Amino acid sequence: MPIHSLKYNSKTLLIISLLLTLTGIIFILAAKFIGSIAIRIAILIFLGFLVLNIKMTYSYISNKERLNYIIAFSASVLGLIKPEFTMLLIGIIILCFVLPPYINIIKSGNYSDMVSLIINGTGILFAFYCIINSKAALNTVIIIIGIILTISGCLLLYNTLTSE
């Protein structure tokens, strides 16, 4: 359903667009604090689910699964103390996912899928950026989200003001 067929009050759209713009500006200006807080909140939620899952299934799981729980718990506590560690881990995981297909494309010499080649190449660059400078990578991601929110808010504000 197109947005033009929805009946919204122009004041509501005006408030939403201003909130999006303001939120984007706050994300851009306070990227350092927002990134650390967001990761810590996500890790706390993950730890809550992890502890609940361990409590409910501990007597039924194997030793290998218990070891996996211990590793996940340790990594979460470390990520809670140093949120940059999370970006380092994300960089390693991204590298593990995008490097093999990129190497296969290069080995085969079939460059017909340029979109896949560009996406995998960008993924490799971002993964190295996360691994080498994880703190700056976290700030960069938050700034990019802030830019997207600001642009979306400004476009919605423009659309709201011109459609009246």
pLDDT less than 70: residues of the chain: 1-9, 164
pLDDT computed for residue 11 by the predictor: 81
Residue 5 placed within a domain: no
Residue 130 placed within a domain: yes
pLDDT computed for residue 95 by the predictor: 92
Residue 113 placed within a domain: yes
DSSP string, 102-150: HHHHHHHT----HHHHHHHHHHHHHHHHHHH-HHHHHHHHHHHHHHHHH
pLDDT computed for residue 1 by the predictor: 43
Residue 4 placed within a domain: no
Residue 56 placed within a domain: yes
Residue 132 placed within a domain: yes
pLDDT computed for residue 2 by the predictor: 53
Residue 67 placed within a domain: yes
Name the domain count of the chain.
1
